[in-house]
Structure 1
Amino acid sequence: MTIKAQKFTPEALLSAPRRGDGIPNADGSKVLYSVSTYDFQDHSQSSEIRVLDVASKKSTLVTDNADASDPTWLENGDVLILAPGSNGTTDVLVGPHDSFSTRGNGISLCVTIGHVPEFRASRDGPFSTTVVKDRVTICPREKKSRPPFTDICNYTAGNIDGSVSGVKVASLANGSYAFTVTGNSNPDGSIYNSEKVTSSQTTGRLYGAIFVRHWDSYITQQRQTIFYGNLKKGGSHYKLSSVANLLKGTNLESPVPQFGSTDNFDVSSSGIAFVSKDPVLQPAVYTKINPYFVPLSDFTASTPPSPIQIQTSGFNGQATSPVFSPDGKQLAFLRRQNEQYESDKLQLFVLTNVAEPNSTVNALATADRKGAWDRSPSSVFWSHDGKKLYLTAEEHGRVALFTLAASSAFGNSTSLPKKVFYDGAISSAYPLSNGDVFISGSSLVDNSIYFYYDSASGNADVISSNSKNGAAFGLSRDQVSEIWYPGAAEQIHAWVVKPSNFSAGQKYPLAYLIHGGPQGAWEDSWSTRWNPAVFAEQGYVVIAPNPTGSTGYGQALTDAIQGEWGGLPYVDIVKGFEYIEANLDYVDTSNAVELGASYGGYMTNWIQGHELGRKFKALITHDGVFSMVSQLASEEVWFPFHDLEGPYWKNPSSWQKWDPSAHTGNWSTPHLIIHNELDYRLTIAEGLAAFNVLQERGVESEFLSFPNENHWVLKPENSLLWHTAVLDFINKHVGLPTYSEQSSYAKQLRGEAWQNRKGDLGRKI
Structure 2
Amino acid sequence: MKRFVVSISVLLIAFASIVVAQDSRRFTIAELLKVRRVGDPQVSPDGKSLAFAIGDVNFDANRTVTQLYVMPLAGEAEIKRLTSGDSSASGPRWSPDGKRIAYVTGGQIWIMDNDGNDKEQVTKISTGASGPVWSPDGKWIAFTSEVYPECTNEDCNRQKEEQAAKSKVKAHLTDRLLYRHWVEWRDVKRTHVFVIGSKGGEARDLTPGDFDAPPYAVAGDVDYAFSPDSKELAYLRNPDKVEAISTNSDIYIVPTVGGAAKNITVRNRGYEDSPIYTKDGKHVLYRSQATAAFEADRWRLMSYNRTTGAISELLRGFDLNVEDMVMTPDGSSIYFIAGERGLHPVYKVDSSGGTAQRILNNVFATNLQITPDGRTLVFAHSSLAAPPEIYRVHQDGSGLGPLTRINSEIMSPAGLKEAEEMEWTGALGGKVHGFLLKPMNFDPNRKYPLAVLIHGGPQSAWNNSWSYRWNPQVFTDAGYVVFMPNPRGSLGYGQQFVNEISADWGGKVFVDLKNGIAEVLRRNSYVDKSRIGGAGGSYGGYMVDWILGHNNDPRFKFKALVS
* TM-score normalised by structure 2 residue count: 0.87
- Aligned-pair CA distance for 1:201: 5.9
Q: Which residue of 1 aligns with 2:501?
A: 561
Deviation string for 1:429-457 (max 9, x for gaps)?
01211212111122111111211121146
In the alignment, is residue 63 of structure 1 matched against residue 83 of structure 2? yes
The DSSP-based 3-state class of the residue aligned with 1:399 is coil
Q: Is contact 1:453-1:460 (8 Å) kept?
A: yes
Deviation string for 1:168-191 (max 9, x for gaps)?
11322xxx3331011112222335
- Aligned-pair CA distance for 1:536: 0.8
Q: Which residue of 2 aligns with 1:376?
A: 321
What are the within-5 Å matches in structure 2 for residues 246-325 of structure 1?
Answer: 246-249=206-209, 251-258=210-217, 260-268=219-227, 269-280=230-241, 282-296=242-256, 301=257, 304-311=258-265, 313=267, 315-325=268-278
Deviation string for 1:456-482 (max 9, x for gaps)?
464422222333398435134x44211
What are the within-5 Å matches in structure 2 for residues 320-339 of structure 1?
Answer: 320-339=273-292
Q: Which residue of 2 aligns with 1:36?
A: 55
Q: Is contact 1:270-1:329 (8 Å) kept?
A: no
The DSSP-based 3-state class of the residue aligned with 1:591 is strand
In the alignment, is residue 180 of structure 1 matched against residue 201 of structure 2? no
Give the root-mean-square deviation of aligned CA atoms.
2.5
The DSSP-based 3-state class of the residue aligned with 1:22 is strand
Q: 1:70 to 1:555 in 2, by over 3 A?
A: same
Q: Is contact 1:349-1:361 (8 Å) kept?
A: yes
Deviation string for 1:42-74 (max 9, x for gaps)?
756543211123333321111113233322211
Match among 148, 162, 169 for residue 134 of structure 2: 169
Q: Is contact 2:112-2:119 (8 Å) kept?
A: no
Quick one: which amino acid aligns to residue 328 of structure 2? S
Quick one: which amino acid aligns to residue 619 of structure 1? L
Q: Is contact 1:21-1:441 (8 Å) kept?
A: no
In the alignment, is residue 573 of structure 1 matched against residue 510 of structure 2? no
What are the within-5 Å matches in structure 2 for residues 87-486 of structure 1?
Answer: 90=108, 92-99=110-117, 153=118, 155-157=120-122, 159-172=124-137, 176-186=138-148, 187-191=150-154, 192-193=157-158, 196-198=162-164, 199-200=166-167, 202-231=169-198, 239-249=199-209, 251-258=210-217, 260-268=219-227, 269-280=230-241, 282-296=242-256, 301=257, 304-311=258-265, 313=267, 315-353=268-306, 356=308, 358-364=309-315, 372-408=317-353, 415-435=354-374, 436-456=376-396, 458-468=398-408, 471-472=411-412, 474-476=414-416, 478-486=417-425
The DSSP-based 3-state class of the residue aligned with 2:345 is strand
- Aligned-pair CA distance for 1:82: 4.0
Q: Is contact 1:446-1:469 (8 Å) kept?
A: no
- Aligned-pair CA distance for 1:345: 1.0
- Cα distance between partner residues in 2 of 1:44 and 1:351: 42
Higher Cα radius of gyration: 1
Q: Is contact 2:39-2:53 (8 Å) kept?
A: yes
Q: Is contact 1:210-1:284 (8 Å) kept?
A: yes
Deviation string for 1:284-305 (max 9, x for gaps)?
1122111111133xxxx3xx12
- Which structure 1 segments of 5+ residues have no match? 100-152, 232-238, 366-371, 409-414, 622-765
Q: Is contact 1:33-1:50 (8 Å) kept?
A: yes
The DSSP-based 3-state class of the residue aligned with 1:472 is helix
Q: 1:157 to 1:185 in 2, by over 3 A?
A: closer
Deviation string for 1:471-496 (max 9, x for gaps)?
435134x4421110111131110101
Q: Which residue of 1 aligns with 2:562?
A: 620
**Aligned residues between the structures:** 527
Quick one: which amino acid aligns to residue 97 of structure 1? D
- Which structure 2 segments of 5+ residues have no match? 1-23
Q: Which residue of 1 aligns with 2:18?
A: none
Q: Is contact 2:360-2:397 (8 Å) kept?
A: no
The DSSP-based 3-state class of the residue aligned with 1:224 is strand
- Aligned-pair CA distance for 1:594: 0.8
Task: Work out the percentage of aligned pairs sharing the same amino acid.
Answer: 26
Q: Is contact 1:274-1:322 (8 Å) kept?
A: yes
- Cα distance between partner residues in 1 of 2:295 and 2:64: 35
Q: 1:615 to 1:420 in 2, by over 3 A?
A: same
- Cα distance between partner residues in 2 of 1:564 and 1:526: 30
Q: Is contact 2:284-2:305 (8 Å) kept?
A: yes
Q: 1:538 to 1:6 in 2, by over 3 A?
A: closer
- Cα distance between partner residues in 2 of 1:162 and 1:79: 25
Q: Is contact 1:400-1:422 (8 Å) kept?
A: yes
Q: 1:469 to 1:532 in 2, by over 3 A?
A: farther
Q: 1:27 to 1:496 in 2, by over 3 A?
A: farther
- Aligned-pair CA distance for 1:511: 0.8
- Aligned-pair CA distance for 1:383: 1.6
Match among 534, 542, 549 for residue 489 of structure 2: 549
Q: Is contact 1:394-1:551 (8 Å) kept?
A: yes
The DSSP-based 3-state class of the residue aligned with 1:395 is coil
Q: 1:156 to 1:9 in 2, by over 3 A?
A: same
- Aligned-pair CA distance for 1:340: 1.2
Deviation string for 1:59-105 (max 9, x for gaps)?
111111323332221133223344557xxx73522323241xxxxxx
The DSSP-based 3-state class of the residue aligned with 1:20 is strand
Quick one: which amino acid aligns to residue 384 of structure 1? P
- Cα distance between partner residues in 2 of 1:470 and 1:521: 27
- Cα distance between partner residues in 1 of 2:422 and 2:236: 39
Q: Is contact 1:400-1:423 (8 Å) kept?
A: yes
Q: Is contact 2:240-2:248 (8 Å) kept?
A: no
Moved more, 287-296 or 454-463: 454-463
Q: Is contact 2:46-2:98 (8 Å) kept?
A: no
Q: 1:155 to 1:203 in 2, by over 3 A?
A: closer
* TM-score normalised by structure 1 residue count: 0.65
Deviation string for 1:375-394 (max 9, x for gaps)?
12123321222111122111
Higher relative contact order (CA 8 A, sep 6+): 2
The DSSP-based 3-state class of the residue aligned with 2:475 is helix
Deviation string for 1:385-429 (max 9, x for gaps)?
211112211100112211101122xxxxxx321112223322210
- Cα distance between partner residues in 1 of 2:390 and 2:472: 22
- Aligned-pair CA distance for 1:20: 2.4
- Cα distance between partner residues in 1 of 2:29 and 2:518: 30
- Aligned-pair CA distance for 1:352: 2.3
